Structure 1
Amino acid sequence: MSGSVVLLHLAGAVALMLFATRMVKTGVERAYGDVLRHRLRATMRNPIMAVLAGCGLSIALQSSTAVTLLVGSFAGAGIVSGAAGQLAVRGAEIGSALVVKLLTFDLTLLVPLCLIAGTVMFMATERRDWRQLGRILIGIGLLILSLEMIGQASEPLRQSSLMPLIISYFSGDFVTAYLLAALVTWLFHSSIAAVLLLVTLAGRGFIPPELGIVLVLGVNLGSSVIAPLLTRNADPGIRVVPIGNLLMRGMGSLLMLILFMTVKPPIGFLGATVPDQIVNAHILFNVVILLAGLPLAGLVYRVSEKIVAVGAKPDPAAELDVIELSALNDSALDTPSQALANATREVVRVCETVEIMLKRIIELYEDADPAKIKALAALDDRVDRKHAAIKLYLAKITRNPLTEDEALRCQELIGACVKLEQVGDIIVRNMLVHVRKKLERGLEFTPEGWQELCAFHSSVLANARLAFNVLVSRDPETARQLVLEKDLLREREKETSASHFLRLREGTAKSVETSSIHLDTIRDLKQINSLLASIAYPVLEERGLLGGSRLKAS
């Protein structure tokens, strides 16, 4: 068999291993992700429990990187402390090492059993939890099968005249071997896959013991780099835990490499065979990093915060955002038409701020953290300040003689400004409370419920833009359309509530947990829509198109 064919078979086996690992991870996340996240948040206040929770979650997800990213997001949101986050990641690294140990046993019989059971579960039912369990079993079967394929694909390399030269070179250049293992692990995005590949090749006699230890240290370096690179554009709070893991695990692997090359300790105590020595060295390294990390967790987190702060780029938009321009020019007060134009410009700016708040609040329902919540509350403070300034300015305008149209416009602007201020209050005092509740309790909407909320919110946001246009253009057709949309939204509310109660009757767990948040959010959005729709009433009333509480027939 030619060398290119051997490498092709080997590459295919490695690709299957990576796919199988991802398949198991995806199945666990879809079936048990919400429960695992909730349990992780609930147990991470105790240092020992943080380690155990990280270890268990890593075994379930078959990925310490996934746990690092998850814990980093918790720390960035203020749900867990930075020190607890560091310890959870230490436990996650041990968990991934234990997965490797488990997979080195002879599990050949599990391949057909997992594939048969997983396929039956996946194809014989439409229940989501059973299908995801089937996906997990299929992934485990393919993972074990891929290890056998790697062994078979690498067998012809025994007769290769080039292989001994390559091994001899890396055995004499530990630094290059260390860096190459780190690069391969980063490409795999999985330390489990990288160590399993080493173990399989070592079992065929390709990797000597000393080189195997060096390669394991390189794997740990490469694994510690993955999460910082994936979060390089994330918020600073989220990046701190991955950077801390890089400091502990990455620097730890480098120190261990220097120590190993200097002292050259005996490694026979790690196991009787090279594969056992590689796996046990991987476990031992992460246990040592854990023991070192227990007293150093707080210090490492503080250093990580400083590193992230140094690397953070200032946001020019944020700096410009501090400057609040005002169109309320007192020199124009003697000319009511100019003063009213200035007030209109300022009310439009309030409209823009309210629109931003309305867009961001639904984003926080899905991805919230203390910084984003604080930023939204700050926007409401801006609305309150402008509301007060506009009312005072309009009051000054009325000191001068006004025409009937000017007086009506003045009242219209005051009414619109009051309604905008009330919308801001609903978003911050009501909806933001729902966001905090959802965040603190680790709740998740059902896919159907979330889709309904998003659709309802989109309708309200579209109506808000219509209302802002009416305020400026005073177009009667747009005003009429806005009031008609209010009636349509009332029907959508009934349909959404009916669908939600149907899911409650069916006993959908997520619907029960999020019921109050779902219904209160719909109610708040409906109230916001009613306030914004009332901006159209002065325009319709002026043209005789408003009769009582309803539109007159056209």
Structure 2
Amino acid sequence: MTGSVVLIHLAGAVALLLWATRMVRTGVERAYGDVLRRKLRGTLRNPLLAVAAGGALAIAFQSATAVSLLVGSFAGSGIVTGAAGLVAVLGADLGSAFVVKLLSFDLPLLVPIALFVGTTIFLATERRAWRQFGRILVGVGLLILSLRLIGEASEPLRESGILPVVVNYLAADPVTAFLIAAVATWLFHSSVAFILLIVALAARGLVPAELGIVMVLGANLGGGLIAAMLSRTMSPPSRVVPLGNLAIRAIGALLALAGIVWLHPPLELLGASVPLQIVHAHIVFNVALVIAGIPFAGLVARTIERLLAYAAPPVPVSFEDKDTNALDPEALGTPSRALANVTRAVVGVCETIEVMLKNIMELYEEPDRARMAALAALDDRVDRRHAAIKLYLARITTGQMNDDEARRTQELLGACVKLEQVGDIIVRNMLVHVGKKLDRGLNFTPEGWRELLNLHAAVVANARLAFNVLISRDTETALQLVREKDRLRDVERATSRSHFERLREGTPRSVETSSLHLDTIRDLKQINSLLASIAYPVLEERGMLGGTRLKAAE
């Protein structure tokens, strides 16, 4: 087998590894993301619980980067302090190390089982949670399969004359190996995937233990760099956690690298084989970071906050300014350009509505006057954007529009009106319910609150589908959104029945919160109906919408 063929096979196996990792992460995010966020938010105040919660979330998401950005957003919203968020992310890094350990086991039988069961579940049901669970299983199967393919693809490299030269050079120059690993991890956008690649090559005898550990240290630095780079467009308070994590990981990795180079510790203590030594070194390093990082988390967070405050521009550009810039008046004479500008502006409205949807349920759980006022201000922002978009659409030169552009104009205008109505329901109805709950000191029953959370999670998931339909105009996504509307109607009926059963039983808290409970169900149902209607123009254009119901699938 020629060298080029070997590299093609290896590149394909690595690409499958990256894709499988992404499949698992997105499956967990779509199915359980909102629940996991709420659980994490409630445990961050205790350092030990924060470490455990961050680790569990990293195992679920298969990504410490996702946890770092999520916790960073919590810190930016004032839900947790930067120090508490930093501790949670250190726990996430440790959880990510345990993911590598779990995936390093030889589990050949799990591949066909995970692929078969996952595919069967995905195809056998239309329920989102079950379909995403099937997606997760397929991703796990492909991930383990990719590791086997990497091992098989790298087998011919044992006889290569070039590889030993490269390996010997890197082994003799650990600093270069460390930097290459950091850059490669950043390019992979996954420290788990890169370290699994190193472990797979080590299992074939292609990477010695000390070089593998040096590259694992570089991967840890690169993993911190990923989140820090992805957070560069976030607000300064939200960047404290990713940047603080990067600082701790960089200092820890450099100290560990110096220890490896100068002290040459006995690596045999980490395991009987080279792959075990590499995996265990990764875990030991992250355990050490957790132990050393907890006492210094506050100091690091405060230092990063001061640096960000010092580096902040004196006159920041507001969100509204950026949206106004998207509606370029010079593009009005070219409908295609003008509609592209409107699409960008509507995306900004979608992002604000999603924030409002998420925040309103957090206020139901923990009412706060300041955050209620902030949510109301978001609705004012939506109203301003809606007015600007409507005026801009009215000024586009209609004489040069073709039929598709005319339809797109009406579609964007209709979607923007619906989004503005969603914002009104959140603020004028649901926010009023939050105020009543706060003023009267009411609390839902555990069963009632769980039902509302499940209903809210379904609406948030449907909102994301609606936003995707609006941008991509994908038929399958539009069909899924309309089907989810019907499914949510059944969930709403079941929720209402459960509530009335508790009323008949005379449950005190159900009686006290009955009006709030039923009004919230009604509001969530209305929001979901508005969002689902965004799919109608796409389905109608393709002849898939008959009257008020979907045509039977052919």
Question: Which range, TM-score by smaller chain?
Answer: 0.5 to 0.7
Q: CA deviation at 1:308?
A: 1.9
Match of 2:187 in 1: 187
The question of 1:78 aligning with 2:78 is answered yes
> Match for residue 52 of structure 1?
52
Q: Which amino acid aligns with 2:27?
A: G
Query: How many Å apart are 1:379 and its aligned residue?
Result: 10
Aligned in 2, Cα 1:178/1:514: closer, same or farther, shift over 3 Å?
farther
Distance 1:162 1:454 in 2: 49
Report how far residue 523 of structure 1 moved: 11
- 2:515 aligned with 1:504: no
Query: CA offsets per residue over residues 494-538 of structure 1, 9 Å max, x none?
Result: xxx9998765204499x99986446569999xxxxxxxxxxxxxx
Contact 2:271 2:277 in 1 (8 A): yes
Q: Aligned partner of 2:220: which letter?
A: N
What do residues 392-429 of structure 1 show as CA deviations (whole Å, max 9, x unaligned)? xxxxxxxxxxxxxxxxxxxxxxxxxxxxxxxxx99989
> Greater Rg, structure 1 or structure 2?
1
**Which amino acid in structure 2 is aligned with residue 365 of structure 1?**
M
- Paired with 2:462 and 2:199, the residues of 1 have a C-alpha distance of 46
Match of 2:290 in 1: 290
> What is the CA–CA distance in structure 2 between the aligned matches of 1:104 and 1:244, rounded to whole Å?
29
Q: CA deviation at 1:159?
A: 0.7
SS state at 1:283 partner: helix
Partner of 1:213: 213
Q: CA offsets per residue over residues 205-229 of structure 1, 9 Å max, x none?
A: 1111111111011000100100110
Structure-2 residue corresponding to 1:445: 456
SS of residue in 1 equivalent to 2:205: coil
| CA separation of 1:80 and 1:10: change in aligned 2, threshold 3 A | same
Q: Could you tell me how far 1:311 is from its partner in structure 2?
A: 2.6
Q: How much does 1:87 deviate?
A: 1.1
Q: Shift of residue 316 of structure 1?
A: 5.0
Q: CA RMSD in A?
A: 4.0
8 Å contact 1:445–1:514 — kept in the other structure? no
Q: CA deviation at 1:21?
A: 0.6
Question: Which residue is equivalent to 1:150?
Answer: 150
> Structure 1 residue 42 and structure 2 residue 46: aligned?
no
Range with bigger deviation, 72-81 or 259-268: 259-268
SS of 2:456's partner is coil
Amino acid at match of 1:27: G
**Does residue 104 of structure 2 align to residue 116 of structure 1?**
no
Distance 1:122 1:307, change over 3 A: same
Identify the residue that residue 203 of structure 2 maps to in structure 1. Answer: 203
- Residue 514 to residue 115, structure 1, CA distance change in 2 (3 Å): farther
Q: Determine the C-alpha separation between the residues in 2 that align with 1:522 and 1:134.
A: 27
Provide, for residues 203-254 of structure 1, a one-character-per-residue CA deviation record: whole Å limited to 9, x for no partner. 1111111111110110001001001100101111111100110011122111
**8 A contact 1:87–1:293 mirrored in 2:** yes
CA contact (8 A) 1:191 1:220 kept: yes
More displaced, 107-116 or 248-257?
A: 248-257
Which deviations, in whole Å up to 9, do the C-alpha atoms of 1:529-549 show, x marking residues without a partner?
xxxxxxxxxxxxxxxxxxxxx
Q: 5 Å matches for 1:347-426?
A: 362=353, 364-366=355-357
- Distance in 2 of aligned mates of 1:366 and 1:265: 53
**Cα distance between partner residues in 2 of 1:209 and 1:453:** 45
1:306 match:
306
User: By how many angstroms is 1:260 displaced?
Assistant: 2.1
Residue 81 of structure 1: CA displacement? 2.1
The alpha carbon displacement at 1:119 in A equals 1.0
Q: State the 1:265 CA deviation.
A: 2.0
1:161-190 deviation digits (Å, cap 9, x = unpaired):
001100111011111100000011111111
- What is the identity, as a one-letter code, of the residue corresponding to 1:178? F
The equivalent of 2:68 in structure 1 is 68
TM-score by length of 1: 0.65
The amino acid of 1:505's aligned partner reads: R
Counterpart contact for 1:64–1:89, Cα < 8 Å: yes
What amino acid does structure 2 have at the position aligned with 1:71?
A: V
Following the alignment from structure 2 to structure 1, what is the Cα–Cα distance between the partners of residues 496 and 159? 60
The answer on whether the counterparts of 1:362 and 1:454 sit within 8 Å (CA) in structure 2 is no
The question of whether the paired residues in 2 share the 8 Å contact of 1:364 and 1:373 is answered with no
CA deviations 1:123-162 (Å, max 9, x no partner) are 1111222211111111111100000000000000011000
Q: Check if 1:279 corresponds to 2:279.
A: yes
Instruction: Work out whether residues 380 and 428 of structure 1, in 8 Å CA contact, stay in contact via their aligned partners in 2.
Output: yes
Distance 1:76 1:139 in 2: 32
Cα 1:312–1:169, aligned 2, differ >3 Å: closer, same or farther? same
Secondary structure of 2:105's aligned partner: coil
What is the CA deviation profile of residues 255-277 of structure 1, one whole-angstrom value per residue up to 9, with x for unaligned ones? 21123222222222111111011
AA aligned opposite 1:26: T
Q: Distance in 2 between matches of 1:307 and 1:107?
A: 47
Counterparts of 1:233 and 1:319 in 2: how far apart (Å)?
A: 12
Tell me, yes or no, if the aligned pair for 1:361 and 1:431 is still in contact at 8 Å.
no
5+ residue gaps, structure 2: 322-348, 363-367, 381-423, 439-448, 467-484, 500-513, 528-554
Seq. identity, %: 56
Task: Go from structure 1 to structure 2 and tell me whether the alpha carbon gap of 1:514 and 1:71 turns closer, same or farther (over 3 Å shift).
Answer: farther
Cα pair 2:357 2:426 within 8 Å, conserved: no
- The one-letter code sitting in structure 2 at the alignment partner of 1:230 is L
Q: Distance in 1 between matches of 2:486 and 2:97?
A: 49
In 2: Cα distance, 1:15 partner to 1:453 partner: 27
Name the count of aligned residue pairs.
Answer: 405
Q: What residue ranges of structure 1 are gaps of 5+ in the alignment?
A: 322-357, 382-424, 456-496, 525-554
